[in-house]
Amino acid sequence: MNFKTILAAGCMALATSFAYAGPDDPSKFEAVQYGAQKFVYDFNFATPQEGLGALGFIRNHIKALKEFGDFEKSRIVIVAHGNELHAFSRKNKAAFPEAYAAFKELTDQGVEIHICRNAAKGRGYDPDGFYDVMTVVPAAVIDIARYAGEGYGYIYPAQFAKVTREDIVAQYPEVGME
């Protein structure tokens, strides 16, 4: 064999050793291990129910940190200043009976919940009108800015109606339910 033949055979062998990935090949999961995290969640929702629903973002964050990060050294702060404040007030516990347990579950894990005094006042609440697991701060904007200055990441948890795979198949029957 001459050099050109060996070189060509080697190039072909090398080229066939790389698998072609295409649109029908599955994705891969990379179990990245994250370090400690510091995040401030900006709660400003249209309804009390949306605010309570957004607590799921925090639960998911904690679950992921426990599995893939350093939860013990992480810090999570919620700064609430929207209509969710009605569910955060102990004066409305009859309307939102499960709210306190949800807040307590998170604060027992180290989550801090801050209430904007200005937003509370504008909705008819005094600073002492909230649950004992919360802290009322002068203003949401300066509280969020404080955490930004301390290097916290910022999350604004937007809420949308959940769409399932079944919903997609119903809308686009050509994809099928494999």
Q: Spell out the domain ranges in the chain.
A: 38-160
* pLDDT above 80 for 117: yes
Q: Is 110 left (phi over 0), alpha (psi -120 to 50) or beta?
A: left
116 neighbors 79 (Cβ within 8 angstroms): yes
pLDDT of 138 higher than 80: yes
Rg (CA), the chain: 25
Q: How confident is the model at residue 79 (pLDDT cuts 50, 70, 90)?
A: very high
Domain 38-160 top-level CATH class: alpha beta
How far is residue 94's CA from residue 33's CA, in Å, rounded to a whole number? 42
136-140: average pLDDT: 98
Q: What is the mean pLDDT of the segment spanning 135-156? A: 97
* Digit-coded pLDDT (tens) for 82-98: 999 999 999 999 999 99
Judged by average pLDDT, the poorest of 26-30, 48-52, 94-98, 112-116 is: 26-30
Query: How many helices and strands in the chain, by DSSP H and E?
Result: 8, 5
The Cα–Cα gap between 21 and 28 comes to: 11
Q: Which residues contact 133 (CB under 8 A, 6 or more apart)?
A: 100, 103, 104, 107, 113
Amino acid at 136: V
Measure the CA–CA gap between 57 and 43, rounded to whole angstroms: 11
Model pLDDT, residue 169 = 87
82-118 residues labelled b (16+ CB within 10 A) or e (exposed): bbbbbbbbeebeeebeebbebbeebbeeebbbbbbbe
What pTM was estimated for this model as a whole? Answer: 0.79
Q: From the CB of residue 79, how many other CB atoms can be counted at a distance below 10 Å?
A: 25
Residues 141, 163: Cα–Cα separation, whole Å:
33
Residue whose pair of structure tokens reads 């919940």 in the numeric block: 113
pLDDT at residue 174 above 80? yes
Rounded to 5 degrees, φ, ψ at 171 are -80, -35
- The reported pLDDT for the residue numbered 1 is 58
What is the share, in percent, of the chain residues with pLDDT greater than 70? 85
Confidence of residue 18 (pLDDT cuts 50, 70, 90): low
Comparing 146 with 22, the larger pLDDT belongs to 146
Across the range 23-47, mean pLDDT stands at 92
Give the relative orientation of helices 55-68 and 99-107 as an angle to the nearest 10 degrees: 30
For residue 40, what pLDDT is reported?
98
